[in-house]
Structure 1
């Protein structure tokens, strides 16, 4: 990651199973911090209301290789709910 070049980065999420809650998004360059961006202080994180089509803007991001993780936090508690280690809320990643 050179840090010299930047580009606007966004993601569009479609087909959420409901419009309840919010979408938690994180964009990171660190494999050891994926999918939990809490381990990367330089990660780009966003929280946006859920909807039919959700656009997540990360703004100007330095050049590099990134991974994105998304959680449809339907109950708005700020985390991916699981039952017996199986996600109970929607998620996605690259």
Structure 2
């Protein structure tokens, strides 16, 4: 049985890595956003005075990351290209 990734999937993973390096990492490093990315800092993401809801800054950061991923075609990966996706199959989504 062949467990190697298909070349087109390996190429997509490289594309995704480049996207993360070019778009998400700078977003993480901008302003004081790094405080949200450490899993030990739930307090930075949570507004305890508002009943434990996510902080507005965290929601805005997620929305910007989602917008960038959608623009690049990664957010709707499994959808057809004409709907803004990359027509990703089940194997690609599992990886």
TM range (shorter): under 0.3
Relative to its length, the structure with more strand (as a share) is 1
Q: TM-score, normalised by structure 2?
A: 0.27
Higher-Rg member (1/2): 2
Q: TM-score, normalised by structure 1?
A: 0.27
User: Comparing both chains, which one has the higher relative contact order based on Cα–Cα distances under 8 Å and sequence gaps of 6 or more?
Assistant: 1
Relative to its length, the structure with more helix (as a share) is 2
